[in-house]
């Protein structure tokens, strides 16, 4: 199984995360653009997770490598929590007004969610994807 498409999706997600981080430096002028990129990030994450849910993880769970099956199941379990956290975050901050009305909370939660997404992708790339042949 090839992980090329998943890695490309990770790159696209990282680009959105980088953009959001840059825009956060001046929310007074960039709140609209920041909200736009949060929504674009949500779309990219949904595409990526859908591809994983429909193709990658079912294939790994049906495979013969029990260690890979166990690892895949642990990633599935972990991702459900991250999805829920991100969706809650997105609903709180998906518009300019929601961001500007709670700048401090927005900044804190955005840094946390960016770190969680980056950590998850790094873990997939260095652990899970590296074990897929």
DSSP 3-state of 53 = helix
Q: Indicate if the pLDDT at residue 69 is higher than 90.
A: yes
- What are the structure tokens assigned to 79, written together? 């991702």
User: Which residue would you say has higher pLDDT here, 79 or 64?
Assistant: 64
Confidence of residue 25 (pLDDT cuts 50, 70, 90): very high
**Per-residue pLDDT tens for 118-133?**
999 999 999 999 988 6
Which residues have CB under 8 Å from 99's CB, separation 6+?
Answer: 27, 31, 34, 35, 93, 106
Domains of the chain: 4-131 (1.20.120)
Buried/exposed code over 109-118 (b: 16+ C-beta within 10 A; e: otherwise): bbeebbeebe
The model carries a pTM of: 0.92
pLDDT level of residue 28 (50, 70, 90 thresholds): very high
């Amino acid at each position: 199984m090839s992980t090329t498409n998943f890695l490309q999706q990770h790159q696209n997600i990282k680009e959105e995360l980088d953009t959001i981080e840059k825009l956060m430096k001046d929310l007074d002028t960039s709140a609209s653009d920041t909200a736009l990129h949060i929504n674009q990030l949500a779309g990219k994450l949904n595409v990526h997770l859908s591809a994983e849910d429909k193709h990658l993880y079912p294939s790994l769970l049906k495979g013969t490598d029990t260690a890979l099956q166990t690892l895949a199941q642990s990633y599935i379990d972990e991702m459900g929590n991250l999805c829920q956290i991100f969706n809650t975050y997105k609903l709180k901050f998906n518009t300019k007004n929601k961001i500007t009305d709670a700048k401090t909370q927005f900044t804190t939660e955005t840094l946390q969610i960016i770190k969680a997404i980056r950590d998850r992708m790094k873990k997939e790339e260095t652990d899970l994807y590296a074990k897929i042949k």
